[in-house]
C-alpha cells in the first residue's frame, strides 16, 4: 500500500491573531512540530494556521486539488465550530479526523497561565464535534498526546483506512464463471457493492479466459513450470499435463488481470466445464494471486473478494477462508476450501507442496494443480462483510490458528481455528449477526483498523468478543 496522502490543518481563533500575535507564533511552531510527527505516517500537505471561514474554505479547496485521501484537523487553541463545519459539509467525500491533542503532556507545579493559552484546543473539539453530529457530517476522533506512541499508531491506522477508502473507489473486481446457483448470502446487486463499498464489479466470461489462455506460448508456460519446480516441492500425484494446463491458465488469468486492471477476483468453479483453453481451475494461480495482494472470493463471491482486498491493503496480508466442521470438545473449527490459500500465510515456505487436485465435482476426469501447506500458527482476525437490510455491516472476531499438521486425508487447504470462549457461542453470535459463509482473515488483532474503516465508511461494525461476553 502506498503512503497515504493526508491534509493537516492547524486551527486557532481570529481573536488571537489580532489580540495575541506572539501566542499565534507559538501555535504555528507547534503546528510545524505536528507536521514533522505526521510525516512518519503520511505524505502531508500542511496548512499551519487557519482562523477564518474564508481561510478554511481556501484550505479545503487546496487539499481537494492536491487529491488528499483524508484531512486531519488539530485545534492548536480554541477555534469556533462555525468557521469549520459549514465548509466541511461541502467536502464529505474526504474522510475527516479530529485529533484532540496539545503541546503539554503533564500539569505540574511549573504550570503557568500562558500554558493554558497554548493548550486549550479541547473545547474547540467539543464545540465542533457537537455541530458536526447535529449536521450529520461524518468524522473520526482520536484523543491523545502527539508524542504518545500508542496515539501515533492510531493516527497511522486511521491514515491507512482513509487511503483505503480512496483505493476501493478505484478498484475493479471481476466475477468469473457467474454466481453459484441459489447461494444467497452474498447475492447482492453489483451496484450496491459499488455504491456503498466502492469497487466496480465486472463480469468476465470463461470463454475470455480460454481465449487468452490459448494465446500463451509453450516457452512461457514452461518458464512458470520451471519456477514452480524451483520454488516448491512437487507432489508425486502432479503429472506434467495437469501442471502444464494450470500454468497456462495462470498466464491467461494474468493477462485478464493486467488488461482489466483488476484488484480482485470472484471465481465460480461451477462456471468451468472443462472445455478447450479452460480445462481446469488454476487453484495454484489463485494462491499466488492472493500472495501478490489480490482480493479473492470463491463461488463468484465478489463481496468476499472485496473483504479480502480490504484486509490485504489494511493489514499487509489477507486470505479467503470458510468454516467447515466444528470441534465442540476443544472449541475449534476446521476451516477448509477447494484449493485456494494465500501462499504468504505459510508456516514454512520449504513445506509448500504443489499437488494434483481432482475436480470431479465439475467434470469427471478434470484435475488441477493446487498448493498444500500448514498455515503459520498465531492470533488472527476474521473479517466479514455481511449484507443487511440497510446496506452492509462489518463483523469482526478474533481467534487463533493452531500449530497442527495437515490431515493426510484432506486434499485441500485447511487449518484448525480456536475461538475465544465456547465455540457454540461464537457460531451462534456469528449467524445471529448475519455473517456470510465466506470471510477474510489476517494475522494479529486488526479490530482497531476495521473500526476506523467502518467509521469513515459509515458502515456499522459488530465485534464478537466472547471473553467480554456479548448480550
Q: Give the domain-ending residue among 169, 204, 226.
A: 169
* DSSP E strand stretches across 43-106: 43-50, 70-75, 96-100
Q: Mean of the per-residue pLDDT values for the chain? A: 94
65 and 143 share a domain? yes
**pLDDT tens digits for range 415-439:** 999 998 899 999 999 999 999 999 9
* DSSP E strand stretches across 113-180: 140-143, 172-176
**Residue 64 pLDDT exceeds 80:** yes
Does residue 327 belong to any structural domain of this protein?
A: yes
When pLDDT is averaged across residues 308-334 and rounded to a whole number, the result is 96
Label residue 181 by pLDDT band (50, 70, 90).
confident
**Residue 348 pLDDT exceeds 60:** yes
Does residue 298 belong to any structural domain of this protein?
A: yes
Per-residue pLDDT at 466: 61
135 and 207 share a domain? no
185 and 80 share a domain? no
Does residue 53 belong to any structural domain of this protein?
A: yes
175 and 165 share a domain? no
Element (H, E) at 397: strand 391-401
C-alpha cell at 273: 466445464
Does residue 279 belong to any structural domain of this protein?
A: yes
Per-residue pLDDT at 470: 36
When pLDDT is averaged across residues 97-104 and rounded to a whole number, the result is 97
Per-residue pLDDT at 286: 97
Q: Give the domain-ending residue among 169, 193, 225.
A: 169
Label residue 280 by pLDDT band (50, 70, 90).
confident
Does residue 202 belong to any structural domain of this protein?
A: yes
183 and 144 share a domain? no
- As a whole-number percent, the residues of the chain with pLDDT over 70 amount to 99
CB burial readout 92-118, b (16+ within 10 A) else e? eebbbbbbbbbbeeeeeeeeeeeeebb
151 and 177 share a domain? no
**Range among 105-119, 364-378, 430-444 rated most confident:** 430-444
When pLDDT is averaged across residues 298-305 and rounded to a whole number, the result is 96
C-alpha of 309 from chain center:
6
In total, how many domains does the chain have?
2
What is the rounded distance in angstroms from the CA atom of residue 433 to the CA atom of residue 439? 14
Per-residue pLDDT at 276: 81
Q: Give the domain-ending residue among 169, 203, 233.
A: 169
Largest CA distance in the chain: 85
**Residue 468 pLDDT exceeds 90:** no
What is the rounded distance in angstroms from the CA atom of residue 203 to the CA atom of residue 363? 23
Per-residue pLDDT at 369: 96
Give the torsion sign (CA, 318, 322, 325, 329): positive
Element (H, E) at 246: helix 240-260
Per-residue pLDDT at 272: 83
Per-residue pLDDT at 274: 76
- pTM for this predicted structure: 0.93
What is the rounded distance in angstroms from the CA atom of residue 467 to the CA atom of residue 400? 14
416 and 341 share a domain? yes
Does residue 469 belong to any structural domain of this protein?
A: no
161: CATH? 3.40.50.10940
Per-residue pLDDT at 332: 97
User: Which candidate, 455, 467, 465, places its Cα nearest to that of 161?
Assistant: 455
When pLDDT is averaged across residues 242-252 and rounded to a whole number, the result is 96
Does residue 471 belong to any structural domain of this protein?
A: no
445 and 369 share a domain? yes
User: Which residue has better confidence, 140 or 274?
Assistant: 140
187 and 47 share a domain? no
Does residue 470 belong to any structural domain of this protein?
A: no
428 and 290 share a domain? yes
What is the rounded distance in angstroms from the CA atom of residue 296 to the CA atom of residue 318? 9
For 244, the domain range is 171-464
What is the rounded distance in angstroms from the CA atom of residue 318 to the CA atom of residue 338? 18
245: CATH? 3.20.14
* Total H helices, total E strands in the chain: 15, 20
When pLDDT is averaged across residues 43-72 and rounded to a whole number, the result is 97
282 and 326 share a domain? yes
186 and 159 share a domain? no
DSSP 19: H
**Residue 214 pLDDT exceeds 50:** yes
When pLDDT is averaged across residues 303-331 and rounded to a whole number, the result is 97
Amino acid at each position: 500500500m502506498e503512503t497515504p496522502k493526508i491534509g493537516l490543518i492547524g486551527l486557532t481563533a481570529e481573536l488571537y491573531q489580532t489580540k495575541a500575535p506572539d501566542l499565534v507564533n507559538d501555535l504555528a511552531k507547534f503546528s510545524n512540530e505536528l507536521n514533522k510527527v505526521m510525516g512518519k505516517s503520511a505524505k502531508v500537505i500542511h496548512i499551519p494556521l487557519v482562523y477564518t471561514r474564508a481561510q478554511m474554505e481556501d484550505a479545503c479547496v487546496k487539499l481537494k486539488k492536491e487529491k488528499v485521501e483524508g484531512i486531519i484537523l488539530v485545534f492548536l487553541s480554541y477555534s469556533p465550530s462555525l468557521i469549520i463545519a459549514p465548509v466541511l459539509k461541502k467536502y464529505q467525500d474526504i474522510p475527516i479526523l479530529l485529533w484532540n491533542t496539545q503541546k503539554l503532556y503533564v500539569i505540574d507545579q511549573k504550570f503557568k497561565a500562558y500554558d493554558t493559552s497554548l493548550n486549550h484546543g479541547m473545547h474547540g473539539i467539543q464545540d465542533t464535534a457537537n455541530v458536526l453530529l447535529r449536521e450529520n457530517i461524518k468524522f473520526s476522533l482520536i484523543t491523545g498526546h502527539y508524542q504518545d506512541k500508542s496515539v501515533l499508531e492510531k493516527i497511522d491506522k486511521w491514515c491507512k483506512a482513509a487511503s483505503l477508502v480512496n483505493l476501493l473507489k478505484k478498484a475493479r473486481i471481476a466475477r468469473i464463471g457467474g454466481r453459484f446457483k441459489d447461494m444467497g448470502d452474498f447475492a447482492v446487486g453489483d451496484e450496491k457493492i459499488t455504491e456503498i463499498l466502492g469497487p466496480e464489479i465486472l463480469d468476465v466470461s470463461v470463454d475470455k479466459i480460454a481465449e487468452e489462455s490459448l494465446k500463451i506460448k509453450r516457452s512461457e508456460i514452461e518458464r512458470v513450470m520451471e519456477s514452480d519446480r524451483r520454488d516448491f516441492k512437487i507432489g508425486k500425484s502432479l503429472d506434467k499435463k495437469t501442471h502444464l494446463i494450470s500454468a497456462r491458465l495462470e498466464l491467461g488469468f494474468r493477462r485478464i488481470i493486467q488488461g482489466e486492471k483488476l484488484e480482485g477476483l470472484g471465481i465460480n468453479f461451477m462456471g468451468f466445464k472443462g472445455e478447450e483453453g479452460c480445462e481446469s481451475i488454476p487453484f495454484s494461480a489463485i494462491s499466488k494471486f492472493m500472495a501478490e495482494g489480490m482480493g479473492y472470493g470463491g463461488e463468484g463471491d465478489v463481496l468476499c473478494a472485496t473483504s479480502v482486498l480490504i484486509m490485504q491493503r489494511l493489514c499487509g496480508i489477507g486470505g479467503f477462508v470458510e468454516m467447515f466442521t466444528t470441534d465442540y470438545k476443544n472449541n475449534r473449527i476446521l476451516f477448509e476450501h477447494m484449493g485456494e490459500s494465500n501462499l504468504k500465510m505459510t508456516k514454512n515456505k520449504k513445506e509448500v507442496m504443489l499437488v494434483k487436485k481432482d475436480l470431479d465435482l465439475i467434470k469427471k476426469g478434470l484435475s488441477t494443480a493446487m498448493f498444500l501447506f500448514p498455515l503459520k500458527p498465531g492470533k488472527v482476525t476474521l473479517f466479514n462483510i455481511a449484507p443487511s437490510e440497510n446496506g452492509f455491516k462489518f463483523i469482526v472476531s478474533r481467534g487463533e490458528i493452531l500449530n497442527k499438521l495437515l490431515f493426510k486425508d484432506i486434499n485441500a487447504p485447511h487449518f484448525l481455528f480456536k475461538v475465544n470462549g465456547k465455540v457454540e457461542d461464537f457460531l451462534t453470535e456469528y449467524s445471529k449477526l448475519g455473517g456470510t459463509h465466506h470471510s477474510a482473515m489476517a494475522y494479529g488483532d486488526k479490530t482497531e483498523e476495521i473500526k476506523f474503516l467502518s467509521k469513515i465508511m459509515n458502515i456499522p461494525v459488530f465485534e464478537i468478543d466472547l471473553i467480554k461476553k456479548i448480550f
